[in-house]
């Protein structure tokens, strides 16, 4: 396919069979005096290779490698060809253009990006052979066209200059062939022992190909063992469902069908498997519908204020340990039989009224309600959740939940699996260990001595994207090919397989796990492509030609009919004894994967480091999150460093106040405090894994904290240290920036969003400046008039749009020091406002981007006309005219303009230049920038439409943020055409413009937020529409 043929390893190897040891290299050279092999060696050992340790030399090396491989990706096979420097050799341009390549025109390929082994289908946009943007694949059941921030940011990981770029033996540069040579030697020795000393450690695997290969390996080495360890995966859900059903099953939610949802410490809208699909189902049901009664109702019970909790109609902050008694009390109330008395909990007892009302609400929506349990909760709560869903009939046909065969190749208890491995290693029973991805040396629980015991293994190999903590412990480190560089396959939540296509040849010459196992199995030259095809050749549906099946599958990004089979199961009547709720003095410590850097795999990803974490808006750090009252009791303010002691281990962590956090509970996130990572991730945060134990993976009691007296500055993108915690929220409400009502109030006052507006929005004719915009153009076809509506009811504040915008528009990463100085460049920001009681505030999320005002205040003050209006209503920014007076930003009431105070865009790192979208200017220092409504996409759509001779149809053109949005809260289009979706929303009575009374006539407007609280709980309606 698009990958160039590398050296023919099988040919090279043909002459090598049976040869091992020191003669290997010499023989190889002698045997393979082909040009191709010379090229390969040249690529592996450019002259600069010895300069590796020197950053300047390395940069040159990267430039050579990056550029030549990028070209290789589009089929040019001019080795060493360097687009940056003229090569010394004679080179030739294309004589015939490669098929499918039109310079300047993007191509799109469907593939998938995985997190914790579960894939999200994406469509990658490539320009001249380099992927520049990922968007959701509408055909993929876990994406439905949307994409989350983590998946999007994996694109930057592809180009990360700090990625591992070599095969290293004892941290010295070696070659893949030397590695294979050495491996074949030890494997031969293992073959004699039936693999008794051979161990495989992988993360969660759903890939059919990889599973097939591992099984083949295990067949060849019957005494070998396969261990799996994935730190942040729904382990408790697997165990809980097994407890409930007596067998391994996977679970799928149909959130769309649910009228009432209860999330028990479940951040299902932003985290975990199936998050995008669940968020879509939720978002669809935040619409009141024509009868103004169609909204779902979301209850959240959780210790940490999450995206889900912040979106909930009712949120109950409870310590994580109290969720079990809460769920048990509720289950008994709902009539789930055979349940024991719940353990005593004063916090739960105090919520009798809440539980009563909740139970009634759930009862009233039998079959159309849904109870979700978060990965942090112990298996028993998951089993309870399944029992409640069953009791409510939610698992019936057309219900909200269904169970299917597990999607993992081998569902196991990962903690036990890792512990077994460590025990064997410590006992010296392991001779050969392959760590295929993952970073267990960093992510292993503190009570599992992985790092110590792995040292006893004589031959250990690490395959990974980075030379990380685990690589440092292993004898061999092999650079892994990124998912976007290699062939593979991966399952989604429902089991649907996506065959992953490489979008570019491996930038740094890595290999995939599939290729590595092929090598270990004695097929060192076999491409991942061959192996994946082999898997699917057998699975071609009957009556279908394999090539057609293959092409259709990779084109669509999903393999039809691969969803896991639904199983009909019923929960056991007896779930066994309630696990003892551990109690202890001190604080409860809650562990979560970080919302942006996850388990540390994205620590070196600048996009994710700088992405404000949902709700907390923290960047570049993790923190010990606690409630306002707890912080006041400890005398802590944001940034005060505390020593957190837990089960005899200690870390130092800065405190950050999170209103709505459960009292007496502290949340810490994984993924920071890495000891070996790249330039971006070094020195960020503290390591929460150092406190984490496998016996209490979600949370545990007994943490103590002590003030150290040190402080760090936490880079939050919303000012909080100098502001009363609720002043911004109250001010936003009072000014009508955020407008909120309940569904019931909306029924009574459909125009609530316009009650009591401050000084009415001036009507045409009210002011001197009332010229029509745009000026009508008689005779000609009407211009498009672009506009956007953002539905605040659907927005969950997940920040996916922010990252999509960043990827699409080449928005630079500025670093923590600049974020501390409020200079982050995100064109689209999600504002978070707290309102009400700090112990349990209402949270409002509001995406804020350029409003494209028809009467734009920025335009009149620019002295050089660098920002101006076009005839389609876009407020356009002309970078090369901008002299940087910044007056436009000062005069922008929405503060959506971002200034390049310094040279923020990285113009020096060659590999990072590749990620840039060539349709968008890379800005230099001294110029202003802001949202353009993705003007480059508008142009592309216009070309496409004009070639066809028509107009741009509604839906043919989506902005990057709109495309990413999991809940479809952002709608963009031509507002002059009344038939478009955006024009219909503009006509909705809930539509309002932010600060429209300033006569800015914003083109971006909002649909006022609707909540759907339970009247039995929220007796007193809040004074929503200001001034009514």
Q: Rule CB under 8 A: which residues touch other proteins?
A: 718-719, 722-723, 727-729, 731-732, 734-735, 737, 758-759, 818, 821-823, 829, 831-833, 846, 848, 857, 859-865, 881-887, 889-891, 893-895, 897-903, 925-928, 994-995, 998
Q: Kindly tell me which of 110 and 996 has the beta carbon lying closer to other proteins.
A: 996
As measured in angstroms, the least distance from the Cβ of 802 to other proteins is 13
Phi then psi dihedrals of residue 640, to 5 deg = -70, 130
Q: How far is the CB of 895 from other proteins (least distance, A)?
A: 4
Q: Which is nearer to other proteins, 443 or 818 (CB)?
A: 818
Q: Output 515 or 835, the one with its CB closest to other proteins.
A: 835
Burial 565-582 (b: 16+ CB within 10 A, else e): eeeebebeeebeebeebe
Give the burial string for 852-880 (b: 16+ CB within 10 Å, else e). Answer: bbbbbbbbebbeeebbebeebbbbbbeee
Here the tokens at position 876 are 């356009």
Work out how close the CB of 968 gets to other proteins at its nearest, in angstroms, rounded to a whole number. Answer: 23
Cα separation, 303 vs 319, in Å, equals 5
Nearest distance, CB of residue 918 and other proteins, angstroms? 23
Cβ partners under 8 Å of residue 917, min gap 6? 127, 132, 133, 807, 808, 809, 810, 936
Phi, psi (5° rounding) for residue 533? -60, -40
Taking the least distance from each CB to other proteins, the nearer of 350 and 723 is 723
Q: Cβ 863 to other proteins, closest distance in Å?
A: 4
Helix (H), strand (E) at residue 710 = strand 699-711
**Helices first, then strands: H and E counts in the chain:** 33, 38
Which among 252, 240, 239 has a CA at the least distance from the CA of 403? 252
Exposure of 552 in the CB half-sphere (CA atoms within 13 A): 12
CB 847 → other proteins: shortest distance, Å?
A: 11
Cα(7)–Cα(35) distance, rounded to whole angstroms? 9
> Strand runs (DSSP E) across 540-646, as ranges?
587-592, 618-619, 624-626, 640-646
Please, which residue, 486 or 658, has the CB nearer to other proteins?
658
Burial (CB < 10 A; 0-12, 13-18, 19+), residue 290, is exposed
Torsions phi, psi for 847 (to 5 deg): -65, 140
What is the separation, in whole angstroms, between the first and last Cα of the chain?
64
Residue number, 145 or 797, with CB nearest to other proteins: 797
* Minimum separation from the CB atom of position 226 to other proteins (A): 49
Those residues with Cβ within 8 angstroms of residue 746's Cβ, 6 or more apart along the chain or in another chain: 288, 292, 752, 990, 1010
Pairing of strands 167-169, 130-136: unpaired
Nearer to other proteins, 652 or 859 (CB): 859
Residue 884 CB, shortest distance to other proteins, in Å, is: 2
* CA dihedral for 597, 603, 604, 606, sign (positive or negative): positive
**Dihedral over alpha carbons 515, 519, 524, 529 (to 10 degrees):** -20
Cβ proximity to other proteins: between 639 and 926 the closer is 926
DSSP, res 437 = S
Q: How far from 570 is each of 88, 252, 614, 895, CA to CA, in Å?
A: 71, 15, 37, 55
Q: Are strands 640-646 and 649-657 parallel, antiparallel or unpaired?
A: antiparallel
Closest CB 869 distance from other proteins, rounded Å: 12
Closer residue to other proteins (CB): 4 or 924: 924
Instruction: State which residue, 557 or 612, has the beta carbon closest to other proteins.
Output: 612
Please report how close the Cβ of residue 973 comes to other proteins at its closest, in angstroms. Answer: 25
The smaller minimum CB distance to other proteins, of residues 345 and 818, is found at: 818
We find the least distance from the C-beta atom of residue 646 to other proteins, in angstroms, to be: 35
| Beta carbon of residue 927, minimum distance to other proteins (angstroms, whole number) | 6
In this complex, which beta carbon is closest to other proteins, that of residue 865 or of residue 944? 865
């Amino acid at each position: 396919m698009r990958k160039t043929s590398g050296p023919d390893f099988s040919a090279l190897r043909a002459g090598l069979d049976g040869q091992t040891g020191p003669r290997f290299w010499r023989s190889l050279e002698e045997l393979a005096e082909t040009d191709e092999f010379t090229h390969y060696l040249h690529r592996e050992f450019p002259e600069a290779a010895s300069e590796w340790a020197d950053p300047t030399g390395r940069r040159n090396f990267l430039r050579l490698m990056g550029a030549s491989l990028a070209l290789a990706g589009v089929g040019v096979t001019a080795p060493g060809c360097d687009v940056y420097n003229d090569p010394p050799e004679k080179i030739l341009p294309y004589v015939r253009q490669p098929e499918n390549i039109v310079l300047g025109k993007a191509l799109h390929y469907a593939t998938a990006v995985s997190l914790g082994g579960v894939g999200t289908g994406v469509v990658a946009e490539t320009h001249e052979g380099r992927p520049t943007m990922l968007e959701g694949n509408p055909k993929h059941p876990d994406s439905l066209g949307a994409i989350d921030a983590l998946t999007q940011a994996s694109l930057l990981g592809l180009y990360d200059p700090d990625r591992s770029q070599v095969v290293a033996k004892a941290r010295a540069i070696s070659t893949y062939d030397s590695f294979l040579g050495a491996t074949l030697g030890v494997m031969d020795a293992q073959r004699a022992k039936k693999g008794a000393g051979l161990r495989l450690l992988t993360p969660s695997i759903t890939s059919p190909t990889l599973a097939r290969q591992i099984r083949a390996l295990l067949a060849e080495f019957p005494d070998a063992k396969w261990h799996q360890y994935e730190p942040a995966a729904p382990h408790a859900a697997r165990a809980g469902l097994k407890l409930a059903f007596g067998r391994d099953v996977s679970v799928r939610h149909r959130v769309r069908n649910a009228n009432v949802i209860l999330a028990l410490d479940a951040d299902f809208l932003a985290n975990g498997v199936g998050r995008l699909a669940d968020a879509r189902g939720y978002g669809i049901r935040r619409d009141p519908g024509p009868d103004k009664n169609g909204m779902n109702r979301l209850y959240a019970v959780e210790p940490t204020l999450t995206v889900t909790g912040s979106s909930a109609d009712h949120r109950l902050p409870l310590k994580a340990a109290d969720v079990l008694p809460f769920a048990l009390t509720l289950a008994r109330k709902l009539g789930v039989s055979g349940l024991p008395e719940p353990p005593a909990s004063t916090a739960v007892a105090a919520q009798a009224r809440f539980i009563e009302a909740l139970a009634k609400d759930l009862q009233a929506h039998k079959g159309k309600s849904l109870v979700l349990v978060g990965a942090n909760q112990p298996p028993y709560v998951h089993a309870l959740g399944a029992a409640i869903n069953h009791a409510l009939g939610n698992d019936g046909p057309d219900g909200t939940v269904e169970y299917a065969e597990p999607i993992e190749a081998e569902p196991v208890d990962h903690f036990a699996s890792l512990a077994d491995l460590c025990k064997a290693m410590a006992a010296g029973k392991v001779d050969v260990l392959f760590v295929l991805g993952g970073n267990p040396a960093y992510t292993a629980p503190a009570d599992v001595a992985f790092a110590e015991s792995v040292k006893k293994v004589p031959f250990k190999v690490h395959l990974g994207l980075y030379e990380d903590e685990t690589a440092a412990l292993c004898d061999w480190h092999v650079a892994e090919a990124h998912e976007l560089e290699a062939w593979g396959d991966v399952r989604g939540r429902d089991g649907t397989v996506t065959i992953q296509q490489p979008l570019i040849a491996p930038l740094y010459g890595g290999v995939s796990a599939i290729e590595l196992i092929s090598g270990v199995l004695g097929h060192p030259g076999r491409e991942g492509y061959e192996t994946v095809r082999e898997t699917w050749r057998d699975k071609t549906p009957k009556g279908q030609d394999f090539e057609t099946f293959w092409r259709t599958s990779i084109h669509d990004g999903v393999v039809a009919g691969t969803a896991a089979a639904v199983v009909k199961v019923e929960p056991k009547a007896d779930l066994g004894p309630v696990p003892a709720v551990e109690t202890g003095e001190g604080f409860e410590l809650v562990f979560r994967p970080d919302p942006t850097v996850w388990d540390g795999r994205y620590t070196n990803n600048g996009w994710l480091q700088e992405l404000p974490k949902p709700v907390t808006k923290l960047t570049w750090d993790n923190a010990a999150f606690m409630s306002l009252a707890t912080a006041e009791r400890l005398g802590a303010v944001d940034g005060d460093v505390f020593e957190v002691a837990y089960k005899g281990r200690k870390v130092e962590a800065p405190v950050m106040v999170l209103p709505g956090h459960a009292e007496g509970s502290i949340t810490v996130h994984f993924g920071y405090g890495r000891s070996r990572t790249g330039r971006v991730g070094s020195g960020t945060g503290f390591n929460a894994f150092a406190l984490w134990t496998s016996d209490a993976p979600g949370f545990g009691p007994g943490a103590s904290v002590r003030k150290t007296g040190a402080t760090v500055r936490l880079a939050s993108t919303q000012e909080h240290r100098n502001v009363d915690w609720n002043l911004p929220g109250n001010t936003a409400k009072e000014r009508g920036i955020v407008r909120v009502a309940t569904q019931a109030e909306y029924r009574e006052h459909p125009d609530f969003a316009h009650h009591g507006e401050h000084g009415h929005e001036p009507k045409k004719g009210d002011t001197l400046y009332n010229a029509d915009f745009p000026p009508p153009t008689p005779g000609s076809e009407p211009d498009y008039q672009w506009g956007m509506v953002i539905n605040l009811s659907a927005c969950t504040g997940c920040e996916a749009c922010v990252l999509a915008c960043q990827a699409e528009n080449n928005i630079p990463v500025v670093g923590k020091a600049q974020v501390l100085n409020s200079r982050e460049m995100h064109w689209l920001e999600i504002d978070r406002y707290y309102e009400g009681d700090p112990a349990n505030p209402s949270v409002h999320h509001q995406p804020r981007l350029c409003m494209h005002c028809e009467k734009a205040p920025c335009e009149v003050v620019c002295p050089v006309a660098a920002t101006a209006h076009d005839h389609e209503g876009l407020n356009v920014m002309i970078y090369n005219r901008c002299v940087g007076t910044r007056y436009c930003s000062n005069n922008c009431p929405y503060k959506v303009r971002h200034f390049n105070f310094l040279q923020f865009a990285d113009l020096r790192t060659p590999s990072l230049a590749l990620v840039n979208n060539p349709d968008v200017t890379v800005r230099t220092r001294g110029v202003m920038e802001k949202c353009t409504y993705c003007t480059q996409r508008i142009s592309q759509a216009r070309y496409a439409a004009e070639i066809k001779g028509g107009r741009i149809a509604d839906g043919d053109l989506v902005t990057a943020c709109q495309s990413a949005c999991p809940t479809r809260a952002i709608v963009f289009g031509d507002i002059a055409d009344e038939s478009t979706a955006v024009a219909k929303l503009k006509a909705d009575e809930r539509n309002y413009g932010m600060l429209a009374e300033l006569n800015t006539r914003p083109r971006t407007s909002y649909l006022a937020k609707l909540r759907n609280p339970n009247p039995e709980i929220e007796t007193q309606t809040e004074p929503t529409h200001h001034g009514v």
